[in-house]
Amino acid sequence: MAEQNTRQDTLEYAQRLGDDAVVLGHRLSEWCSNAPFLEEDLALANTALDFIGRARMYYGYAAELADDGRDEDDFAYLRDQRDYRNLLLHELPRGDFAFTQARQYFIDVYNQLFLEELRQSADERLAAIAAKAVKESRYHLRRSRDWMLRLGDGTEESHRRTQTAVDNLWGYTHELFELDPLEQRLVDAGVAVDVAALRDPWREQVGTLLDEATLRQPADDWAVRGGREGYHTENLGHLLTEMQALHRAYPGCSW
Amino acid sequence: MVAAARSRPTDTAWRLRLARREASGLPEIWALLDRLTDPEIPAVSLWDLGILRDLAWRDGRLIVTITPTYCGCPAMSEIEADIRATLEQAGYGPVEIETELKPAWSTDELSPEAREALRGYGIAPPCIGSALTEKPQCPRCGSGQTHPLAEFGSTACKALWQCDECHEAFDYFKPI
């Protein structure tokens, strides 16, 4: 019985991690052909692909655990926004280039810490996905960190835009470090990452970088949460509408 | 610390892979697959890149084990189709393709031939040991004086660098 429950929890957990990855991957892909210059266009598109690839691995695993005939596409394309459980930070509109890079930096620092822990998971499949993804996150972080320095300690305008982005994102970062009962059960079973323990190292790393980039760390005077329960900002519905339109209009289409 | 940094990188990952290939005992099928190259880097075979991991017969079906290079590598489905078509045409089908994630693919698994082929193709091969800090040598003039232009080049697995001596821009196959 306990084993059956852990299986159900793990399915939900894999789906959550897939949701985080596919939503951010989609946001990044929106830059394709719109980035400030060619190299950056390629970098954003390649990073988007890494996240979409992760989503496929997480969803593929969720589909195996569900064992009810669904496949990865069903998870990505046939669930509505209330069924999506991504953390809200991932779904916010791409904003300007500073906003995209600041969000990416926050998530890259988080992912590096998170995936290092997930590599130790008692669940072998999640551990294998993490071992693969963490290597890519190291490259993502190197790039987004570099951009934070260049933009924060850059021109007056790049500084202003980056500070605005950091201020507007900050209230969405608290949710990254909160555990609900399901994740707590999985932490106890050795499967999930205890994200509450990542808060201090994340803050230390981010705080040091913000200093170096001449940016101010915002006050903790507001927080938005709800993603893991399926309560989203209005932005997710628009994103899913675009992302799912083709698959819903032509089910199973491929080319 | 200094001793560790100076210790010679090894090609253990590559040797383990070679041993697995030999242990499979199917040289004629490996030879068929050796003709298949990466769709994005046609100079290098799938085997030399480390995408092909194992071959085995199971319950009368040929099982091909592969591993993705990057999570989001868009060439994987084309690679699978190539493998399937090649083996089925040769009468080995229908084959099953299994994806193995563990151990995660590393550029340390590249064969020595892959490194040479990359260089000849104008792509600086990755250093062994997955060090993010090492500078690649210019694949054109061999100079060690190079600097990065962009963290991502024409594909996810490459970065764009430039040589300080001959000034040529070149792709660097990132160590991962």
Tell me what percent of the residues of chain B surpass a pLDDT of 90: 59
Top pLDDT among A14 and A37 is at A14
Cα-based distances in Å from B111 to A116, A165, B56, B97, B175? 28, 45, 21, 22, 14
pLDDT at A254: 79
The residue count of chain B comes to 176
pLDDT band of B151, cuts 50, 70, 90: confident
Mention every residue, 6+ apart, whose C-beta is less than 8 A from residue B168: B138, B140, B141, B162
Residues in B closer than 8 angstroms to A139, CB to CB, are 132, 151, 174, 176
pLDDT at residue A3 greater than cutoff 60 = yes
pLDDT at B2: 39
The answer to whether the Cβ–Cβ distance between A51 and B72 falls below 8 Å is yes
Closest residue of chain A to B68, computed from CA coordinates = A132
The rounded mean pLDDT for chain A is: 96
The residue count of chain A comes to 255
pLDDT at B128: 78
- Say what the ipTM of the complex is: 0.82
The answer to whether the Cβ–Cβ distance between B151 and A43 falls below 8 Å is yes
Give the span between the Cα atoms of A201 and A208, in whole angstroms: 11
What CATH class does A2-249 carry?
A: mainly alpha
Q: Which helix (H) or strand (E) holds A163?
A: helix A156-170
Could you give phi then psi for residue B169, rounded to 5 degrees? -85, 140
Q: Which of A42, A53, A146 sits opposite B72 (nearest CB)?
A: A53
Give the span between the Cα atoms of B99 and A24, in whole angstroms: 25
Could you give the domains of chain B?
Answer: 2-108 (3.30.300.130), 123-173 (no CATH)
Give the span between the Cα atoms of A181 and A200, in whole angstroms: 21
pLDDT at A225: 96
pLDDT at residue B98 greater than cutoff 90 = yes
Closest residue of chain A to B159, computed from CA coordinates = A43
Half-sphere exposure of A148 (CA within 13 A, CB side): 29
Q: Work out the end-to-end distance of chain B between its first and last CA atoms, rounded to an integer number of angstroms.
A: 21
Residues in B closer than 8 angstroms to A132, CB to CB, are 68, 71, 101, 104-105
Task: Confirm or reject contact between B53 and chain A (CB < 8 A).
Answer: no
pLDDT at B8: 47
pLDDT band of B9, cuts 50, 70, 90: low
Closest residue of chain B to A131, computed from CA coordinates = B104
- pTM for this structure? 0.91
The answer to whether the Cβ–Cβ distance between B156 and A46 falls below 8 Å is yes
| Residue to test with chain A: of B101, B107, B130, most A Cβ within 10 A | B101
Mean pLDDT of B125-131: 76
